[in-house]
Copies of this chain bind each other. A is one copy, B any other.
């Protein structure tokens, strides 16, 4: 199985309102809910691709129970979340029907105690024994040390399990130093890590800092991969319009499934790019359009890239 870690799981709630005006009262016309947090989104896409997936991290309170209830109904995903005394956060996406724009409100997440964090590390070590790859995804809830991902990467490496890190800021900086197999920063996260706004140069710098491979997601510009086996750029056949929520998580699922299936880098990148574009095209945030995925897969351009130096 593939293991995904979501320390800060979420109940993702989407509201539709006619027009969002600060300081006014709004009737929400439509409410949708689903389990969220990057690692759970990655797991959903992996399961849709036919992989066995186990999710771990924390879940607590009424929101955590709702996340687990909905996960139980999702086919192909094994729930190995650990209980936490605090409540799983909500994220609220308010979609303005007039403009189509989204306003996001994110709760911080539960305060994790040292005992809960210790229990997680033990459970994680045991889950790794059955894992072919692991993805560490998203923000850290309050109470989890900023070097958490670095420790989880070392444990995975010691167990011989390939590890992908998808986070930002200081947790990314510390994590990279622990030598993950792959990181998937967006342009902003990569610039924050390296100080360089030139993606190829920044990706090479990230590799020098410890990441074995770097796949930078450049939004409509596609993916830029910098690896020991070579450098590639993957671009979708045309600019796609839609909701980019979850597109990055689909890239992670594409890369991770390609890794365990031992695909070549160009094939992994084509899959990740097609999944990402098919996610933008899907009407529901974070879902992907299967027909569009199949159609796009053969039309992604993957080209070798020259060195930046």
Contacts and interface: CB of A to CB of B under 8 A. Distances in A.
Contact of A24 (B23, B103, B108): B103
Interface string A82-107: 00000000001010100101111111
A27 B103 contact: no
Interface residues of A, number: 30
A66 interface: yes
A63 B21 CA distance: 26
A307 interface: no
A20 interface: yes
Interface of A: 15, 17, 20-29, 31, 62-63, 65-66, 69, 92, 94, 96, 99, 101-108
A36 to B, nearest CB: 14
A211 to B, nearest CB: 26
List the 9 closest pairs (A to B, CB-CB), nearest first.
Answer: A25-B104, A62-B66, A23-B101, A28-B107, A20-B22, A62-B62, A26-B105, A22-B103, A31-B107
B22 A96 contact: yes
Given A62-B65, A65-B62, A92-B92, A104 B26 contact: yes
Contacts of A102: 23
Given A62-B65, A62-B66, A92-B92, A108 B22 contact: no
A144 B105 CA distance: 31
Given A62-B62, A62-B63, A24 B104 contact: yes
Nearest to A11: B62
Nearest to A30: B108
